[in-house]
A and B are shown apart, each in its own frame.
Chain A
Amino acid sequence: MDQDCDDVRRVLKGDISSFESIVRRWQTPLINLAFRFCRDRQRSEEMAQDAFMQIFRNLHKFRGEAAFSTWIFSVSLNLYRSVMRRKSLPVESIDALMDIAEGQFPHLQIEQQERDELVRRAVAVLPQRYRDAIIVFYFREMNLADTAAILGVSEGTAKAWLHRGREILRGKLERRSATAAVTKEVRI
């Protein structure tokens, strides 16, 4: 934390090379956060690069009132959100994702690993506020206060969004599982 503030001060005084330490420390988290939105490794690096540029341009706005991590994630989240809105990503509805998975494994139950990946992909196609809340909440290892600060909302709102998002996700996945079970019985 102190290291971050020191580097920010140095960069603002004109020592651009200090930004390298910031990049080194935060590159992995920012790439991983981007990946949770786009589910594409190369794209997540591009998004993280843009996030660092945004952070560099707005460094003078960091007042140190919040933790540097909160600020950096908040700036990145805004960018990722607008990137996802601007560019049409090859993501489909949860049902379509399930169809694709079942199409790939027509005679087998989807393996645990694939199912898990499918659930993660399903998060990315939730309505924006629920998607953001769920992604940030699990990215910050279920720290609600942190999640609310990054989203820029109260803890109550973050909690409500999380609850609703999980409800939508579970509902869709359960409905889908029930349909799959009926289909399987019919096949037998």
Chain B
Amino acid sequence: MNPEDLDRILLSEKQIEPSSTFEGDVMMRVRAQASYSRHIPFPWLPFATVTLVLTVLAMWLFPAGSVLRGTNWLSYTIGNWIMAPSDSTLRNVLLSAFASLVGTLLLIWFSLRLAGANR
């Protein structure tokens, strides 16, 4: 086979026409992709609100000068609290943990609401 034959064969490839649904199928996928990847803005307002609330809560729970007693506060358990419900340090730790959890959930809820509203 000489080079001219090869050129002839490879240049004379038959043309394929797209099927009638091709364009529509592509555009359907493109539109789905566009709506899926629409930019979701970061929820700055709820984020700032929750951060402010958490800061105020932390300041209220831990007034200036208060220090967690000892270094082994992590070893406190619910059992300790039941045994000594008046232990203010433990109460503060549990309350701050609860506040953090509520704050996080609030932040997620606000973010989802905002993202949903923008769609």
Contact = CB atoms under 8 A, between A and B. Distances in A.
Interface of A: 16, 19-20, 23-24, 27-28, 31-32, 35-36, 41, 44-45, 48-49, 52-53, 56-57, 116, 119-120, 123, 134, 138-139, 141-142, 166, 169-170, 173-174, 177
Contacts of A28: 15-18
Contacts, number: 78
Given A31-B22, A49-B22, A142-B11, A166 B27 contact: no
Contact of A53 (B11, B19, B29): B29
A27 B1 contact: no
Interface stretch (B30-38, B48-56, B69-77, B78-86): B30-38
A19 B10 CA distance: 31
Nearest 7 Cβ contacts at the A-B interface: A138-B10, A27-B18, A116-B9, A52-B26, A119-B9, A23-B26, A16-B34
A32 B11 contact: no
A147 to B, nearest CB: 13
Given A134-B10, A138-B10, A31 B23 contact: no
B13 A45 contact: no
A116 B12 contact: yes
B27 A23 contact: yes
Given A120-B9, A170-B6, A27 B23 contact: yes
Given A19-B27, A24-B23, A53 B18 contact: no
Contact of A56 (B1, B19, B22, B33): B33
8 contacts: A28-B17, A49-B22, A53-B29, A119-B10, A141-B11, A142-B7, A169-B6, A170-B1
Nearest to B17: A28
B33 A41 contact: no
Contacts of A116: 9, 12
A174 B18 CA distance: 35
A41 B10 contact: no
A56 B9 contact: no
A165 B79 CA distance: 77
A174 B15 contact: no
B33 A138 contact: no
B21 to A, nearest CB: 9
Contacts of B10: 119-120, 123, 134, 138
